[in-house]
C-alpha cells in the first residue's frame, strides 16, 4: 500500500510537471509572442515561469509528497526548500556577535532597496562589500534574525555566510526532534541566552535555482563542508565548547535537500564567555 501511494504521488507530480510545461510553452509564450517582439516574449515568459508558475508548482508537489514530518531546512519567500539547517549555538546575541567578529566575519546589512542596489553594483563590478545583505529565508515562521559573512578573495561574489534564528533554550529542550520545535514564531529578547539555529553555506558565484530557474547566488552543494569549516573556525578561536551532534529531523538520512547534499546533522555548541 505504501509503495502504491508513493507511485500515485509520483504520477501526480509528473502530471503536474507536464501541465506546467504546457502552460508555459503553449499558453504564456504563445500569448506573449502574438503581442510582443520575440525577445520580449521570451523575457516575459521567463519571468512568469520562474517567479509565478514554477514556485507554485513546487509548493504543490511538496504538499503532495509531505514525506518529512520535521523539516530540516529553511524556506524561501516562495515557500520552497532553502538552505539546510546545520549549526546551533547557545549564548547571548552579544556573544554570538563577538564570536564571529573575532573571526573577521561581518554582520550582514538589513535587506532594503539601498543595500540591494549596493549588492548589485558590488557584484557587477566585483568591488568589496563586507556587510552585503542576505536574501530572506524563513524558519520558525520568520526571516533570519541575524547573519554573518566572510568574503573569499575580498569578492562579493564568493563568501562564507550563515543565517541565524533565535529560539528560547527551554522551548528548544521541550520540543527538539518534534514538529512543535519548528512551529514556534516567538523570538527571545536579545539580552537573554538563546539557542541560535543556523544555516551556513558558501556562495561561489551567480546561478539559477534548480527548481524555478530564478537568479540567485550559486552555492557550494556540500553544506556539510561549510558547517565543518565554520565550526572549525570557532573551535580554533576557542569560542565554543561542549560540542554535540544532533539529527535535524526525524527520519532524515543522507540525501539531497533542494540542490544541496546534507547528512542532516546539526552541530550544537555553547558559546564561550571570554575574559571570565
pLDDT digits (tens, 9 = 90+) for 60-109: 776 665 544 445 778 877 667 788 888 989 899 999 999 999 999 999 99
pLDDT score recorded for residue 252: 33
CA pair distance 96, 147, nearest whole angstrom? 10
DSSP state of 71: -
Least confident of 78-82, 95-99, 142-146, 170-174: 170-174
Report the pLDDT averaged over residues 220-231.
Answer: 88
- Yes or no: say if 203 and 158 are a contact pair by the CB < 8 Å rule: yes
- Residues 201 and 227: their CA atoms lie apart, in Å, by 8
Q: How does the average pLDDT of the chain come out, rounded? A: 78
Backbone φ and ψ of 217, nearest 5°? -65, 140
Tens-place pLDDT, residues 108-136: 998 788 887 887 788 778 888 888 888 88
Write down the pLDDT at residue 261.
60
The per-residue pLDDT for 236 is: 93
Taking the C-alpha atoms of residue 223 and residue 260, their distance in angstroms, rounded to an integer, is 7
Rounded Cα–Cα distance for residues 32 and 37 (Å) = 8
Local confidence band at 180 (pLDDT 50, 70, 90 cut-offs): low
Residue 188 has pLDDT above 60, yes or no: yes
**Residue 14, φ and ψ in degrees, nearest 5:** -60, -45
Instruction: For 13-62, write each residue's pLDDT tens digit.
Output: 788 888 988 988 888 889 988 888 889 988 888 888 877 887 777 767 76
Whether 208 has a pLDDT exceeding 60, the answer reads no
Q: Which H or E element spans position 147?
A: strand 146-152
Model pLDDT, residue 228: 93
Amino acid at each position: 500500500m505504501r509503495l502504491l501511494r508513493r507511485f500515485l504521488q509520483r504520477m501526480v507530480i509528473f502530471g503536474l510537471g507536464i501541465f506546467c510545461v504546457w502552460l508555459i510553452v503553449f499558453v504564456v509564450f504563445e500569448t506573449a509572442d502574438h503581442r510582443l517582439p520575440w525577445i520580449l516574449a521570451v523575457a516575459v515568459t521567463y519571468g512568469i515561469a520562474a517567479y509565478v508558475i514554477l514556485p507554485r508548482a513546487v509548493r504543490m508537489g511538496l504538499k503532495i509528497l509531505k514525506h518529512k514530518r520535521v523539516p530540516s531546512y529553511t524556506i524561501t519567500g516562495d515557500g520552497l526548500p532553502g538552505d539546510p539547517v546545520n549549526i546551533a549555538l547557545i549564548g547571548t546575541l552579544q556573544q554570538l556577535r563577538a564570536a564571529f567578529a573575532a573571526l573577521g566575519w561581518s554582520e550582514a546589512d538589513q535587506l532594503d532597496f539601498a543595500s540591494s542596489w549596493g549588492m548589485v553594483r558590488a557584484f557587477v563590478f566585483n568591488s568589496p562589500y563586507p556587510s552585503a545583505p542576505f536574501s530572506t529565508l524563513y524558519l520558525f515562521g520568520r526571516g533570519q534574525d541575524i547573519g554573518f559573512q566572510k568574503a573569499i578573495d575580498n569578492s562579493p561574489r564568493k563568501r562564507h555566510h550563515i543565517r541565524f534564528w533565535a529560539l528560547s533554550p527551554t522551548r528548544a529542550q521541550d520540543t527538539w526532534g518534534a514538529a512543535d520545535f519548528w512551529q514556534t514564531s516567538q523570538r527571545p529578547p536579545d539580552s537573554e541566552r538563546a539557542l541560535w539555529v543556523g544555516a551556513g553555506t558558501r556562495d561561489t558565484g551567480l546561478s539559477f535555482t534548480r527548481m524555478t530557474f530564478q537568479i540567485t547566488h550559486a552555492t557550494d552543494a556540500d553544506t556539510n563542508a561549510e558547517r565543518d569549516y565554520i565550526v572549525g573556525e570557532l573551535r580554533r578561536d576557542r569560542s565554543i565548547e561542549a560540542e554535540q551532534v544532533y539529527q535535524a529531523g526525524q527520519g532524515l538520512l543522507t540525501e539531497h535537500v533542494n540542490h544541496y547534499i546534507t547528512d542532516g546533522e546539526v552541530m550544537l555548541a555553547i558559546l564561550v564567555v571570554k575574559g571570565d
